[in-house]
Structure 1
Amino acid sequence: MSVGSSNRSFGEEVDELETVGWYHYELSRHAAEALLMSNGVDGSFLLRNSNKGPECFALSVRAKDSVKHFHVRRQFGRYSFGFNEFATLQDFTSHLANQPLLGSETGNLIVLRFPYPRQVEEPSIYESVCVHTAMQTGRHESDLVPSAPSLGTKEGYLVKQGAIVKNWKQRWFTLNRNELKYFKDKMVRFKSVFLVFPERTFYLCAKSGVEADEWIKILRWKLSQIRKGR
């Protein structure tokens, strides 16, 4: 996979930098950082064009959990890097290979360990289909997408204590969007849980601890979403 492009016209003279396998042409600063952080390791480095102007380049190096960038300039075929100047491209690349320790302005020492190649062979992430067998099922395309309840909905029987007469009656509760509703039904004895509202405390019961936990968790989640304005 090519991670850069030379942007050369047909017949244009080949730039000598193209002979450097870790020169990535017009790779941007952010793209270089993403590439080195995602696929590189500590000490991975590459050379790319800089937006400082023509004949300006950047040496991007991964240093642990960040990427550092260093200016490289070319003038009349000579390369300047830091306080050093090199007469040829070969001298420059040989220097980086034999003296890979860089000192940044912050005092950090960075080692050039692994040149990140411009051409990267990536293994396939796809499995090959060997056999695709069809069988008659009577199903249709719509059957391939099963219906599912809306996110954050729940319904079921709970037992509620009356507001005036403190007796317990079974009610059918539904929770949809931000509305909790209940409907009249038969009375059953269940295990107790309670829900507090600003103007009234509702005492409710579920038939099991598991069912009570499910109601509590989904109601707490609903309240947290309302506070976040969702």
Structure 2
Amino acid sequence: MDSSVNVQLSRGRADDREDELSELDWYHYDLSRHAAEAILLSNGKDGSYLLRKSHDGPMFYALSVRGKDSVKHFQIEWTEGSIKFGFNEFHSLSDFVNHFANQPLIGSETGTLLILKKPYPRKVEEPSIYESVRVHTAMQTGRTESDLVSEAPSLGTKEGYLIKQGGRVKSWKTRWFILHRNELKYFKDKMSTEPIKTLDLTECTGVQFDYSQERINCFCLVFPERTYYMCTKTGVEADEWIKLIRWKLSQLKKAAKS
């Protein structure tokens, strides 16, 4: 058999593996080592893990696992007949997945043991209104593959310029706003690194269109100590901010009741 045929067979087997893995929602394809660390440290929990491709070759993959304050990476080899992970060997992808559904322990090079608790998904579907929202979620682990279901609400992010009314002096100035997790921060401009102020949405009691300021496309955020007035260039943009903030407030209420 010539080398070209060998290459074609190898590519075919790699494509078959990718097709199988694409059904696994915690497989992150070409996610880099550094990106995996950033995601797990910022949005994961102790025991969160994900699977991604390794740069060691087409048969190798990497399992990235978050500990308390760091991320460890473990190599997985998928040969034609089995999937090898540490001292374990699995004959199918379903066997491999079921292994992770039973919260196994793995040891790192430092001798510490990590418990695999929560597969971290590559994507979470979000309502169509949030076209510019980036989402992540944590997962919980059950005893079988079918029990690997969502646990935490997704986290939406939005940013852009808004025209904001001042507090003491009721003038209007353009500010750069960033909505992330449960915080709405505003900056002097997009290049500023330190926010002028951070609004904690857990203290917000409501958000709605406002017509009291004699300005179009204006909405307000109501807090116990102050009401903040902001305007956008278009009504569609104002509607997006309102719906996303309102959705976040509803998630906070659900979390408070649970």
Bigger relative contact order (CA 8 A; separation at least 6): 1
Of structures 1 and 2, the larger Rg is shown by 1
**Structure having the larger proportion of residues in helix:** 2
